[in-house]
A and B are shown apart, each in its own frame.
Chain A
């Protein structure tokens, strides 16, 4: 099974900050990686697919990069609506999620 490890688990940041979340896979997953945003009591929302492709309707301040085993999600300028929990997910071999990164207000 492919394991996904996100870091950090919690991130404290201010509006306007540049934020980076890292996701590592236990084996190569090529670019078969997605990023989701989840707010309390809501379903996850797809942000990025195939490691770096922006889902339609998602603000351009979100970007993804990486391939193989190491990936990053970057929010270029954090907005009030971005305080949420973010999950990476591999879909190279079945489906596995990272443990999540909570982005909270500093």
Chain B
């Protein structure tokens, strides 16, 4: 069935790095436009980053610009988020999500992976 599975979360010290992965199955990943969205504990949803189906177009939220890098490998049906210079305020559940047209709502979501930034 259609599925996104995130991995790579964990506990990291402030200033540290972490790489999240999102494995896709059950659909043609290379057709999908993908984003990372995060949710701090007890808080709302915050869009983090976007990558087009080919990888040619990338956007970042101001809160992570210059620290996070989104990428994808369509041959491996995978999406990535490299997170550097992590701060306490980056603590959140990170979801990957996607949609098929390039201008629509997110109709596929992963289950999320928790990132905790703490000393």
Interface residues of A (CB under 8 A from B): 1, 32, 34, 36, 38, 42-46, 49-50, 55, 87, 89, 91, 94-100
Contacts and interface: CB of A to CB of B under 8 A. Distances in A.
Interface of B: 35, 37, 44-47, 50, 59, 61-62, 95, 97, 103-107, 109-112
Which 10 A-B pairs rank lowest in CB-CB distance, beginning with the nearest? A34-B105, A95-B47, A43-B109, A49-B105, A97-B45, A100-B44, A99-B44, A46-B107, A46-B105, A43-B95
A68 B35 CA distance: 24
Contacts of A98: 44
A36 B109 CA distance: 11
A97 B44 contact: yes
B110 A43 contact: yes
B103 A43 contact: no
A99 B42 CA distance: 11
Contacts of B44: 87, 97-100
A72 to B, nearest CB: 17
Main secondary structure of the interface of A (DSSP, over half): loop
A96 B105 contact: no
A86 B58 CA distance: 28
A94 B111 contact: no
A42, A95, A96, A97, most chain B CB atoms within 10 A: A95
B50 A45 contact: no
B111 A55 contact: no
Contact of B35 (A34, A38, A45, A95): A95
